[in-house]
Amino acid sequence: MSYNCFLQALENRRSYYKLAPESNVTDDEIVSALHDVIRHMPSAYHSQSTRLVLLLGNEHKALWTIVKEILSKEVPPAVFVRTESKIDSSFASGHGTVLFFEDQLVVESMVSKFPLYGRNFPLWSQHTSAMHQFAVWTLLEEMGFGASLQHYNPLIDKEVKSRWHLPEEWKLIAQLPFGLPLDTPEPKKYVDASRRVIVLK
């Protein structure tokens, strides 16, 4: 990929909140893309602590049913009406969801193996997850999808692990629902880059 193509991919990645369940690619192609991200993303000390769970079809819908059931008990009814509508049209309506986890057994093993930097590994684990989130999000966009990054954890953690029999040591970090985009994001407003980038020679 050329510099210009990479820059265009960065610019194209936006948050889409109206999704359709259709897909222009096969599910196998989505799985292959996730494998590529997992293989090539960096991690602190090559710890490879990130875990991805791809939910499609009824499993994707089940996740957002879990979210709604939990939120219905946590927020006032008047607020939940708006919340439910947003979930149904923005997240559950899509083609799938990628769940991002960090394996805490791996993180703890790195703490023990490198005690001098031990207290940094939980933070570095978050950095690792963030890189995977960004890469998956951008790659899905390049495949024609729209997506948005969500954080209903830790409210949903217990039910998610129970539903899909996931290890207790996996810490849920984020959820990325995706589907064919049905809207166009508003133009972004940018702070001048010269105020955010310092050059020293």
Q: What is the CATH number of the domain that holds 152?
A: 3.40.109.10
Q: Is position 103 within any domain?
A: yes
Q: Phi and psi (nearest 5°) for 42?
A: -75, 160
Residue 160 resides in a domain: yes
In a domain, 21, yes or no: yes
- Beta-bridged to residue 178, according to DSSP, are 96, 147
Residue 95: what are its φ and ψ, rounded to 5°? -90, -30
In a domain, 3, yes or no: no
Give pLDDT tens digits along the chain (201 positions): 678 899 999 999 999 999 999 999 999 999 999 999 999 999 999 999 999 999 999 999 999 999 999 999 999 998 999 999 999 999 999 999 999 999 999 999 999 999 999 999 999 999 999 999 999 999 999 999 999 999 999 999 999 999 999 999 999 999 999 999 999 999 989 999 999 999 999
Burial class (CB in 10 A: 0-12, 13-18, 19+), 69: exposed
CA dihedral 76, 77, 81, 87 (to 10 degrees): 50
pLDDT value, residue 137: 98
Asked whether the beta carbons of 176 and 100 are under 8 A apart, the reply is yes
| Residue 61 counted as domain residue | yes
pTM here is: 0.95
Instruction: Kindly state the tokens that stand for 27.
Output: 């599910």
Taking the C-alpha atoms of 148, 37, 196 and 184 in order, what is their torsion angle to the nearest 10 degrees?
-30
Alpha helix stretches (DSSP H) within the chain: 3-12, 27-40, 57-74, 77-90, 104-113, 121-142, 157-163
User: How many structural domains are present in the chain?
Assistant: 1
What is the DSSP pairing of strand 146-147 with strand 96-103? unpaired
Tell me what pLDDT residue 156 has.
Answer: 98
